[in-house]
Chain A
Amino acid sequence: MIKPLLVRPKILTPVRFHYCPGCGHGVAHRLVAEVIDELGLREKTVGVASVGCSILIYNYLDLDIQEAAHGRAPAVATGIKRVLPDRFVFTYQGDGDLASIGLAEIVHAAGRGENFTVIFINNANYGMTGGQMAPTTLPGQKTTTSPKGRDVGQAGYPLKMAEILAVLDGPSYITRVAIHNPGAVIKAKKSIRKAFQCQKLGLGFSMVEILAACPTNWGMEPLTALQWLEKEMIKYYPLGVFKDTEMMAPSAAL
């Protein structure tokens, strides 16, 4: 029998993504879907959709999903998890959502060690509203609201969310990955899997920051965008694990 190399994840609904060509959201959705499938969590999972290009995630993942107001996904997830502590809860948030309007919510959910998982897509700008500057926009990066390039003297420096949250005691696992080539994508999936496993062990807040491309608003071809991500974004946002308490857990074997 020929074994297929790739199968469509069961929880990925058979509809076409609305994302632009080369957009990171599609890849990230698929990785989340594969992990939930492989861990057999479909019927135990509640997702929280945030406001941004990915707001329609509920069209793509065959899961129970609540849509949250802009930035408030971690608070909504807190409410869900407090009612249903034995379910898997994850938020899926962009950088405008998580690092700007929802900064208080993410920091406090992390600080409380809320036992849910955050998938954080950092594409260095506001995608949905047309490419404005985000807290994660790189110094010198041009956006519609930093037309001459982000001037750190005027707009300040980008927020490095993985590093910021990793200094807190509540999180169990904080990592930053990228999805600019197949090898990186495989690593990103492992991290998502691990984040869900931390939740399963009840270790507390876990977050995977994913550096992803937004070719449309970066004004680049999809391939050039991936190259820019690799060359420029990773330089500013180093990849790696910033916090991992799983090693110390009583039953780390999963």
Chain B
Amino acid sequence: MDQVMLKGNEAIGEAALRAGCRYYFGYPITPQSELMEYLARRLPEVGGTFLQAESELAAVNMVYGAAGAGGRAMTSSSGPGISLKQEGISFLASAELPCVIVNVMRGGPGLGTIQPSQGDYTQATRGGGHGDYRLPVLSPVSIQEMVDLVYNSFDMAEQYRTPVILLTDGVLGQMMEPVLLPEEITHEYMKPWITDGCQHRPRRLIKTLYLDSGELESHNLHLQAKFKRLSAKEVRFEGYHLEDAEVLIIAFGICARVGRTAVDHLREKGLRVGLFRPVTLWPFPSASLKEAAERVRHLVTVEMNAGQMLEDVRLALPGREIGFYGRMGGIVVSALEIEVEIMRIMGGNGG
């Protein structure tokens, strides 16, 4: 284990390398460029391939080719670039090719801002491209967790044969923290489906076209069964002071990190506040949230968007009243803002 000081974007790069990723294809965009700059330097040192593609479309399709040929591949981008990658992501999902896609979110829609946001939650958790598919979406809260989740992402990608999204934001991407980097851990998965020249075996095809409707439906049902397996096995969340919470803040990523500070401050004032943080945004930890929310009087979702995760929270807690606090101009929510909001809720309801 090495302890080093790393920027979030660089930490993702280093973790990917140590997780056995040897192929990176990407196109520059703020606030994720350090990730590709880091890999441009590091990948050749370990015999890997770094290639700056002509566009996000090309980058994600290079990942498609590399993954189909058996390589452990990754790409990264931010909002506008992720939108361009969606064509390829839909194809990757249908062809069941494993890879990791990092979205260091900035403010949108359109060009928006290069400041951090959480505006791509819905795009990420609902598949994002055309057709019926879902992808595992992991959301870190610290640079250390970024590193750990990168390892998990590659494993999950190969175990389930699916693209995995690491959804983070400009604050975590740009921030520096000391991290413990595990030695290289590369789990090897059997890949009896790759196309590498059909030596001593029948040919293989990697395809997404199903002209026969019955065949397409079977393929879709097969994908849906996989999503169900994923939903049952890969749900993750973190609770903070859930034991006696009277008010529950529900937040992910950077908002959860700020939310923790708010919880600490409010606890010092003697207010019983807790935090529920989904680590997997898809599958969403609905059952655990339901359990955590049972003894709680007030619920408030905090996000850097107009309430995208709020919809999942509502689905998990039908009939419950759920407050929302959000900022959406690339402005990072402050602990003080959350504290004021919680005190307003508690005060306003006689808490």
CA distance A191 to B95 in the complex (A): 33
Interface size class of B (residues with CB under 8 A): 35 or more
Interface string of B179-193 (1 = CB under 8 A from A): 000000000000000
Q: List, in ascending order, chain A residues with CB within 8 A of B204's CB.
A: 64
Interface size class of A (residues with CB under 8 A): 35 or more
Residue ID in chain A nearest B63 by CB atoms: A79
Report whether A43 and B200 are in contact in the complex, using a CB–CB cutoff of 8 Å.
yes
CB distance from A29 to the nearest CB of B (A): 15
CA distance A170 to B73 in the complex (A): 25
Report whether A66 and B58 are in contact in the complex, using a CB–CB cutoff of 8 Å.
no
CA distance A42 to B62 in the complex (A): 23
Residue from A56, A63, A75, A84 in contact with B61 in the complex, judged by beta carbons closer than 8 Å: A75
Report whether B207 and A83 are in contact in the complex, using a CB–CB cutoff of 8 Å.
no
Q: List, in ascending order, chain A residues with CB within 8 A of B203's CB.
A: 58, 62-65
User: Which of A55, A76, A81, A87 is most buried by chain B, counting CB atoms within 10 A of its CB?
Assistant: A76
With an 8 A cutoff between CB atoms, is A174 at the interface?
no
For the residues of A in contact with B, the DSSP-based class is helix
Interface string of B77-114 (1 = CB under 8 A from A): 00000000001100100010000000000000000000
With an 8 A cutoff between CB atoms, is B349 at the interface?
no
Report whether A65 and B195 are in contact in the complex, using a CB–CB cutoff of 8 Å.
yes
Report whether B205 and A67 are in contact in the complex, using a CB–CB cutoff of 8 Å.
yes
With an 8 A cutoff between CB atoms, is B231 at the interface?
no
Interface string of B184-217 (1 = CB under 8 A from A): 0000000000011111100111111100000000
Residue ID in chain B nearest A104 by CB atoms: B54
CB distance from A84 to the nearest CB of B (A): 5
User: Which of B49, B203, B205, B207 is most buried by chain A, counting CB atoms within 10 A of its CB?
Assistant: B203
Q: List, in ascending order, chain A residues with CB within 8 A of B91's CB.
A: 68-69
With an 8 A cutoff between CB atoms, is B51 at the interface?
yes
Report whether B195 and A64 are in contact in the complex, using a CB–CB cutoff of 8 Å.
yes
CB distance from A102 to the nearest CB of B (A): 9
3 A-B pairs with least C-beta separation: A79-B65, A75-B61, A79-B66
